[in-house]
Chains A and B, each alone.
Chain A
Amino acid sequence: MMQFVWVLHKDLFVEWRARSRIVGLATYALVMLLIFAFAVGTDTTALQQHAGAYLWLAVLSASTLLLVQSFQQETEAGALDGLLLLPVNPVALFYGKAVANLVLLTLLAAVALGSSFFLYDLHLRGSLVLLCLNVVLGTAGLAAPGTLYAALTARAPAQQLLLPLLLLPLVVPPVLAVVKVTDLLLVGDPMNQLSSWLAVLASFDLVYWSLTGVLFARLVEE
């Protein structure tokens, strides 16, 4: 448990020291939101109806840039081997890094969500608590597989291409669910679909968070 906390602390501390990067990523997500607004044009109703999709596409796009960097420090100068020789339990290492990515992605998504309320003139029709829960569950669906694939492609050439190529098809189910829940909370839920979509999202998170930890342990043993 202590190893997990130390890895988490290390990653968040490194990000805090280089905080211009997360500011840059948040700005990138904001630019994406603006580009979607330009693409849709002056139709504010269309923007509001599909705000969930635009928001999560912006977060997804920024998340690949964040996750690409996830194992950069570890692969440079053999730091990962050093960590494992300490020895740090690979499972603690994975969950430490995955939770650090979850925190950063949640921060990113929160900034993007706040900006989209302002830019798209959105009104919350559902519960704020559920919206926050949805953001955390949605970013959790990106963080665990994203961390695994960042490790998988860390030493591969063309990592910038490989990571999104592998990650995006895998995260389609949670992205679909999180977009749907966001839309239901923003536009309204006359058919009472919210709880079932939240359950779909939570189920995929559970599968990803349990499966990826086991797979990571086997990956770093090699």
Chain B
Amino acid sequence: MKWDHALLLSGAVIMAVGHCMGLFATPPEAYMGETGRILYLHAPTAWAAMLAYLLAFLAAIGALWTGRLAWDATVESSIELGVLLSVMLLFQGSIWAKPTWGIWWTWDARLTSTAIMLVAFIGVLVLRSVVHQPARRMVVTAVATIASFVNVPVVYFSVKWWSSIHQLPSDTGSVDTIMALPLAVSAFGTAFLTVGFIGSRRRLAWKRLSREDAAPDLPELPPPLDLEVG
């Protein structure tokens, strides 16, 4: 069994255990009631998105440092997973916001900065899709990824820097001990799944990039015809 498949399988099992604990073995949240159980899904998704972007950032440094396309494959797969997780995060947040805040979306530092982070990394993927030369695409993507990563700490600290209706960052120390274990288990499950998916997606990306790199260059275009009139 490949390492990414093992991570995917174990991640799915651990996440299922974490969610079962969150749904059946913990009491409802004191203020939000049953709605508060979305914490076991929402917070791990947020951490996994940050993890994916962190991996993209580190791989981008690796790509610039070594110039090897293998790092580029990691950047591509990590950003894609990060974007997917960010979209899920915003949807989950809206589902949570409606019963607790009474609205699907509001101007809030955490919500807005997360949406901006998502748009920034979608921009990197768009940029990547229009540059066709593999070596240049790798450098351009790596530079844009490192620059876009500036948004990630802004998202994390947004609830501390601005007066936000979003709660302060959740962690296993900020919730009751009875809730901490399912939260930690769900977080590990989601992290395993994320790294597993990045690994699988990376293999595909690496195969495509290797073929692209091995393909012979196209012949030079012939010079334009010199049609001199008169």
Question: Hey, which chain B residues are within 8 Å of A145, CB to CB?
Answer: 147
Given A207-B150, A218-B64, A222-B136; A166-B144 close (CB under 8 Å): yes
Q: Give the size range of A's interface with the partner.
A: 20 to 34
Q: From DSSP, what is the main secondary structure of chain A's interface residues?
A: helix
Question: Hey, which chain A residues are within 8 Å of B120, CB to CB?
Answer: 166, 169-170
Q: A218 — nearest CB in chain B belongs to which residue?
A: B64
Establish whether residues A166 and B64, one from each chain, have CB atoms under 8 Å apart when the complex forms. no
Q: B141 — nearest CB in chain A belongs to which residue?
A: A152
Q: By CB atoms of chain B within 10 A, which of A149, A207, A212, A215 has the most?
A: A215
- Tell me if A172 counts as interface (CB < 8 A to partner B): yes
Chain A positions 135 through 178: 1 when the CB is less than 8 Å from some CB of chain B, otherwise 0 = 00000000001001100110111100010011001101100000
In the bound complex, CA of A156 to CA of B52 (Å): 26
CB proximity of B147 to chain A, nearest CB, Å? 6
In the bound complex, CA of A108 to CA of B161 (Å): 30
- Tell me if A211 counts as interface (CB < 8 A to partner B): yes
Establish whether residues B140 and A152, one from each chain, have CB atoms under 8 Å apart when the complex forms. yes
Q: Which of B7-65 contact A (CB under 8 A)?
A: 64
In the bound complex, CA of A170 to CA of B147 (Å): 7
In the bound complex, CA of A222 to CA of B63 (Å): 12
Given A156-B130, A157-B130; A148-B140 close (CB under 8 Å): no
Establish whether residues A156 and B124, one from each chain, have CB atoms under 8 Å apart when the complex forms. no
In the bound complex, CA of A211 to CA of B135 (Å): 21
Establish whether residues B116 and A158, one from each chain, have CB atoms under 8 Å apart when the complex forms. no
CB proximity of B137 to chain A, nearest CB, Å? 10
In the bound complex, CA of A145 to CA of B120 (Å): 13
In the bound complex, CA of A162 to CA of B129 (Å): 11
Q: B143 — nearest CB in chain A belongs to which residue?
A: A215
In the bound complex, CA of A218 to CA of B143 (Å): 8
In the bound complex, CA of A222 to CA of B116 (Å): 29
Q: Which residues of A contact B (CB under 8 A)?
A: 145, 148-149, 152-153, 155-158, 162, 165-166, 169-170, 172-173, 200, 207-208, 211-212, 215, 218-219, 222
